[in-house]
Each structure stands twice: as structure tokens, then as C-alpha cells.
């Protein structure tokens, strides 16, 4: 089936550092989404990207939809303790005439004390 390769699997950073993570695929997607999951909660949408090359910001978060439509990255600037969690990318495809999401395995962000 379709797969998204998300990296890195985990990141240990100091508070205040910038963070970068990305997703790649051999398939083309119509839409790229970035979600965050806090412990014990469901994922929450952070940023949605709809056009190849699109660069979108949401506060300290910036994400880009790759030109080839096969990749996307998410940057977090000046990390703070509440940024801890698991970040997922998801690509939207049409399957059986319906839109579905294919998910990356997640990047776990840990902030070193």
C-alpha cells in the first residue's frame, strides 16, 4: 500500500532550539497535513497544505508542500515545553472514489530539561 516515510523518529532538543522534520513518499498527494498528538489525546490538525510549493505558517510553525508533491517538511522555531508530543504527517489521496489519509509513523519530540 501507500507509505509515508517520516523522519526523524524522535528528537531530543533543548528548549529554544529550532526543530525540523519531514515526510517523503514515492506517491503524489493532493494535500499534505501536519497533526500533533499530545499524550492520551487524539491528533489535532496544525497545518494543511493544498498546493505544490505552498509555504504556510501557524505561529512558530512553518510547513511546506514539496514541488514534486511527494514530500513536505515542518519546522518549529524556538521550541517551548508545550511543543512536546508526537507530530504526524498525513497525505490525502483518492481511494475507492473517496478521500483518505495516509499517515507517517510520527516524530516524537522530547525537550531535554
What H or E segment, with its residue span, contains residue 99?
Answer: strand 98-103
Q: Which stretch binds other proteins (CB under 8 A): 14-22, 54-62, 63-71, 87-95?
A: 87-95
DSSP-assigned states of every residue in 26-61 = SS--SEEEEEEE-TTS--EEEEEE-STT-EEEETTE
Q: Which stretch binds other proteins (CB under 8 A): 14-22, 55-63, 67-75, 89-97?
A: 89-97
Interaction between residue 42 and other proteins (CB under 8 A): yes
Residue whose CB is less far from other proteins, 4 or 63:
4
Interaction between residue 67 and other proteins (CB under 8 A): no
Cell digits for 47?
A: 497545518
Q: Which of 21, 88, 109, 111 binds other proteins (CB under 8 A)?
A: 88
Cβ-contact 32, 23 below 8 angstroms: yes
Amino acid at each position: 500500500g501507500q507509505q509515508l516515510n517520516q523522519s526523524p523518529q524522535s528528537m531530543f532538543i533543548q528548549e529554544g532550539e529550532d526543530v525540523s522534520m519531514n515526510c517523503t513518499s514515492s506517491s503524489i498527494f493532493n494535500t499534505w497535513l501536519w497533526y500533533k498528538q499530545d499524550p492520551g489525546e487524539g491528533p489535532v490538525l496544525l497545518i494543511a497544505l493544498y498546493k505544490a510549493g505552498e509555504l504556510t505558517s501557524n505561529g512558530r510553525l512553518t510547513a511546506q508542500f514539496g514541488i514534486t508533491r511527494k514530500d513536505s517538511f515542518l519546522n518549529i522555531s524556538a521550541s517551548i515545553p508545550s511543543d512536546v508530543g508526537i507530530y504526524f504527517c498525513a497525505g490525502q489521496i483518492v481511494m475507492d472514489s473517496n478521500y483518505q489519509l495516509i499517515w507517517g509513523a510520527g516524530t516524537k519530540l522530547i525537550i531535554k530539561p
